[in-house]
Homo-oligomer: A and B are copies of this chain.
Amino acid sequence: MALVHYPVYNRRQEVVATAITNLDIHDIARAARTYGVESVLIVTPLERQRWLLDRILRHWQQGHGAKAHPNRSDALHEVHAMGTLDEAVEWVKVRCGQEPLTIATTARPFRQAVAYGVLRELLMAGTAPAVLLLGTGWGLSREVVDGASYVLRPIMEHGRYNHLSVRSAAAVILDRLMGDR
């Protein structure tokens, strides 16, 4: 999984880099671990944010957090910082020895979007590694969505209110793609 802080939209539809949210990292890492995701890649190009992220991860991977909350430490062990989305995809490619599929997620309707069941089968077949892209802020930029191998349909496509936090969306998407059935 990749949690993308750039390029994403802000509420005025401008492409921006969002700030890291401590609880995003924890919740998404725990969900990833629960559903058997191998790694969580936190994508941000901002130096100061990378520094903050390193501090958080070190606390939980090696510092006081590791002793006090072994379950959380466990989940955060496979969280890594990446400067760009390309770097994240390249990292997965090197690690898996194969070009990964990229799966974009969006709360907007998108003509080519695929159903969860379709992707679930594709992932279960295990023919290629895959990176699930989650956007912070007001979602992944159009360019990222257009460039992905697949785009997942919005979670509650026909609902009138569709403003899940990225933490909630991550959990629901993982459950639909990889949860017990």
Q: A: which residues have CB within 8 A of B?
A: 23, 26-27, 30-31, 33-36, 71-72, 74-75, 155-159, 161-165, 167-172, 175-176, 179-180
Q: In the complex, what's the smallest C-beta–C-beta distance from A37 to chain B, in angstroms?
A: 11
Q: How many copies does the complex hold?
A: 2
The residues of B that contact A172 with a CB separation of less than 8 Å are 171-172, 175, 179
The residues of B that contact A157 with a CB separation of less than 8 Å are 180
Complex Cα–Cα for A33 and B169 (A)? 13
Residue on B with the closest CB to A168?
Answer: B171
Q: In the complex, what's the smallest C-beta–C-beta distance from A174 to chain B, in angstroms?
A: 8
Q: Can you list 25 contacts pairing A with B, beta carbon distance less than 8 Å?
A: A23-B23, A27-B167, A30-B163, A30-B164, A30-B165, A31-B165, A33-B161, A34-B155, A34-B161, A34-B163, A35-B156, A35-B159, A71-B163, A75-B163, A156-B179, A156-B180, A157-B180, A159-B180, A164-B171, A165-B167, A168-B170, A168-B171, A171-B172, A172-B172, A175-B176
Which applies to chain A's interface (DSSP): helix, strand, loop or mixed? helix
Residue on B with the closest CB to A170?
Answer: B168
Given known pairs A157-B180, A172-B172, A172-B175, the reply for A162 and B27 (CB within 8 Å) is no
Complex Cα–Cα for A63 and B151 (A)? 38
Complex Cα–Cα for A161 and B73 (A)? 12
Q: In the complex, what's the smallest C-beta–C-beta distance from A152 to chain B, in angstroms?
A: 12
Complex Cα–Cα for A169 and B168 (A)? 8
Query: CB within 8 A of A159: which of B36, B159, B171?
Result: B36
